[in-house]
Structure 1
């Protein structure tokens, strides 16, 4: 029998188990969902036992569905949600639910760190801003508010790290998830003594750092019974989901760049050095590939803005889709495609949930600018896609100041839209490519990391076996100048409106 690689992708809504052959073929997948508990406005937690149960369920289902022998799975590897905080005791038993990436409760702890390090100093060490999203601030919150939990804490883990422990009884994290802890020295790939000292956190509560390809061990007898895996299967620790997606999208050498279009969206490249933007608009992750980094900018609401448009403006398309059996997305995209580039001067600022990169602005709101008596409904639809793309283009321009980027790979649900891909090609002024499997980059990346880790593959260039490019588009030269002017107007309007949004938010006013 051939060798198989099992990849687990632990997301926010569930775990996906995907099996790949050594030749790069996706054999099958199985999904098991779990809940997120949102409360107290800014709090978000998950039960780590739900992660484990999902891994066990999806693994067993996959093996049964495909009719394979567990002995033929040579390695299991992981992609996982990042920037969490799970406290476990010395036996690996969770002491409380995990505080996940979406949780924003640790604002005071951010301020406490700022007494010792400026935002610029923190950014130059970690490659990220000091915000409540990261793990060290969440651990500080636990220390300050749940001291009995903190005292019992042996290690602090992320989602994939906990599953690796359940499979091997070993406590490790990789450099990318270490980076997401917010106390990581990016250039030296080690915990930052300065940030840890400033935080007052006991450094022994942090797991040992290892490369993403590190083999943590083999599946224990107990874990084999729970999952259906073989005790001979090796466990590679993998990486955080943003980094595994980079590998699965082919961003494995300098300048290879991709854009992920989901509810949120990001542009990520690969470089030999971190990119430190003077305005701190982008971040840099530790790459899973030794000697490389993954500079990135993530916007808050991209496909989310499209979905808002679909649900609020496109009610007639919804009725027509139900009546005719056609896809509502096709009906919307047909209208957008018939609308001239630039939407007749109408602009949409896509800040329905504030913004991360490149604005780092929690005050701004979604806004149409330039509506006239001649504005059409189809122009309002097209301007949403253009506005999201203008925002992503600013991220791209920051990266292009440091690295040559020749083309863009597009993944995620938004990449299914041909008209959106063409808008991206025109606004970015780059050729655009979309792979056949738009939603498997994280799983592919984890599988490749696992394969390299146990010697199935010599290096990460093997990704070429996994990726099949399904669509390619080049930019329309007639639209380049128009979109260049539109991008500048987009920036001008944002900066003009930013103080207005901030003033009203601070005054508690309505918009």
Structure 2
């Protein structure tokens, strides 16, 4: 009987559920949307019960789409949004809405830890800068502002951990998700006693730690009724979405590197040890292969910047038959020249994380003149996003990382023009797979297959990635972009005091 791997990718906007066979072929996929709530400025919450509904509906739909028997599913595993907090009682019942990664209410609690332990020491212990976006600060906010809920909490979970409990009745988390909490000693892979003591967090309220390929339990009779799965089907931990995306991209050996471009964008690589940047531009997760690390840098407004250009300058554009708005944008951007006729774009519409870690940063077009066209603006946006990502890449190069080729995933990889700009700005060969949007679910599925023994080990990820295209850097364009890159960095640095004055 043919066996299949079911993976749920619990994202910010909804659940992307996918079904793979053991050779990595995508058999079926579906999407179920849910809401995000913003009770106050800086707060972002979701209802965990919405996630569970998404899993139940999506699972039944996949089984129906693929026309398979539920018993053919060898494992269920998860990729999910990281850095949130789902506080549940002893029966796994949520005590409030989950605070998700985008919730920034705990800035005071983050600052308190920084003052107690020190910014650099926190980075050294956890592999991350201290931030209110991480789970630890959110837990402390809960303890201080909603003490009754904190006292009732049996475990603080992540999104996938809550869903695994719903399926199995067992609590736990994996190393990759735990590494995005500002609570884990990234080298020992244990909760940091120094941080827990400084924040006065009860360790008993944290879940047990497991590898991403660990089978935490089996589908219960109740969960089987709600999802359409077979009782007893193994449930494998999986991991945080960033780490799952890396494995799904075939990033497994030391030095393998990839770039994901969606609304936000990140560059990440597989490493046998954490990479700690002296300027703390980058950070570190634990890989789904728990013997490895995932040094990473994430910028805020990548595809979001191009969407902004679309909305502001192409609203009334006339399209040819079968032409999308992005086709037109790319066509006009291609009609410009490298350097966009000396027009520079700083992509800081949402402040910035990596590489500058400046929430006050603002977007800008620099050098605009009366001869610039809409196509120049579009091209400058693509180039500016790419130059910002190059700052992240340079941090890895300065740490001794040699980069000659890089995999590219996400919606941004659909543009042949952007792929060439990336190759030219980075000075590396860009490799593009056939499946651009399934990396996170694919990584989770591989973890599930390894967990139940259907796949031999994580290295099968290499054979699951099917290359579609390659883009080599153009030497003459590289020279233009090297010059523009230096101007780009200086422009940001000189505008920092202006950003501060403009900040609300």
Q: How does 1:69-108 map to 2 (within 5 A)?
A: 69-108=69-108
SS in 1 for 2:44: strand
Q: How does 1:76-475 map to 2 (within 5 A)?
A: 76-317=76-317, 320-321=318-319, 324-402=321-399, 403-475=401-473
Q: Which residue of 486, 490, 493 maps to 2:491?
A: 493
Question: C-alpha displacement at 1:23, in angstroms?
Answer: 1.3
Count of residues paired in the alignment: 503
* Cα displacement string for residues 190-244 of structure 1 (whole angstroms, at most 9, x for unaligned residues): 1100111111111110000111011101111111111111123111000000100
In the superposition, the TM-score normalised over structure 2's length comes to 0.98
Tell me, in whole angstroms, the C-alpha distance in 2 between the residues paired with 1:227 and 1:102: 29
SS in 2 for 1:130: coil
Tell me, in whole angstroms, the C-alpha distance in 2 between the residues paired with 1:37 and 1:375: 41
Does 1:483 find its partner at 2:481? yes
Tell me, in whole angstroms, the C-alpha distance in 2 between the residues paired with 1:459 and 1:60: 28
Q: CA RMSD in A?
A: 1.1
Question: C-alpha displacement at 1:42, in angstroms?
Answer: 0.6
Tell me, in whole angstroms, the C-alpha distance in 1 between the residues paired with 2:502 and 2:96: 38
* Cα displacement string for residues 38-97 of structure 1 (whole angstroms, at most 9, x for unaligned residues): 121111111111111110100011111221101110111110010001110111111111
Contact 2:250/2:464 (<8 A) preserved: no
Contact 1:255/1:406 (<8 A) preserved: no
Contact 1:132/1:138 (<8 A) preserved: yes
Tell me, in whole angstroms, the C-alpha distance in 2 between the residues paired with 1:205 and 1:36: 25
Using the TM superposition, name which of 135-144 and 404-413 deviates more: 404-413
SS in 1 for 2:19: strand
Question: C-alpha displacement at 1:401, in angstroms?
Answer: 2.2
SS in 2 for 1:245: helix
Does 1:33 find its partner at 2:33? yes
Tell me, in whole angstroms, the C-alpha distance in 1 between the residues paired with 2:397 and 2:230: 46
Using the TM superposition, name which of 442-451 and 456-465 deviates more: 456-465
SS in 1 for 2:28: strand
SS in 2 for 1:102: coil
SS in 2 for 1:31: strand
Tell me, in whole angstroms, the C-alpha distance in 2 between the residues paired with 1:466 and 1:232: 27
Contact 1:71/1:232 (<8 A) preserved: no
Gaps of 5+ in 1: none
Tell me, in whole angstroms, the C-alpha distance in 2 between the residues paired with 1:169 and 1:405: 44
In the superposition, the TM-score normalised over structure 1's length comes to 0.97
Tell me, in whole angstroms, the C-alpha distance in 1 between the residues paired with 2:374 and 2:308: 15
Counterpart of 2:12 in structure 1 is 12
Contact 1:74/1:232 (<8 A) preserved: no
SS in 1 for 2:407: strand
Tell me, in whole angstroms, the C-alpha distance in 1 between the residues paired with 2:46 and 2:377: 38
Tell me, in whole angstroms, the C-alpha distance in 1 between the residues paired with 2:126 and 2:66: 43
Tell me, in whole angstroms, the C-alpha distance in 2 between the residues paired with 1:140 and 1:232: 37
SS in 2 for 1:17: strand
Tell me, in whole angstroms, the C-alpha distance in 1 between the residues paired with 2:308 and 2:20: 35
Contact 1:336/1:381 (<8 A) preserved: yes
Tell me, in whole angstroms, the C-alpha distance in 2 between the residues paired with 1:359 and 1:61: 43
Tell me, in whole angstroms, the C-alpha distance in 1 between the residues paired with 2:174 and 2:12: 19
Question: C-alpha displacement at 1:503, in angstroms?
Answer: 2.4
Question: C-alpha displacement at 1:112, in angstroms?
Answer: 1.7
Tell me, in whole angstroms, the C-alpha distance in 2 between the residues paired with 1:141 and 1:36: 20
Tell me, in whole angstroms, the C-alpha distance in 2 between the residues paired with 1:17 and 1:330: 28
Question: C-alpha displacement at 1:325, in angstroms?
Answer: 4.2
Tell me, in whole angstroms, the C-alpha distance in 1 between the residues paired with 2:413 and 2:403: 19
Question: C-alpha displacement at 1:30, in angstroms?
Answer: 1.8
Does 1:60 find its partner at 2:60? yes
Counterpart of 2:45 in structure 1 is 45
Tell me, in whole angstroms, the C-alpha distance in 1 between the residues paired with 2:190 and 2:261: 32
Question: C-alpha displacement at 1:155, in angstroms?
Answer: 0.3
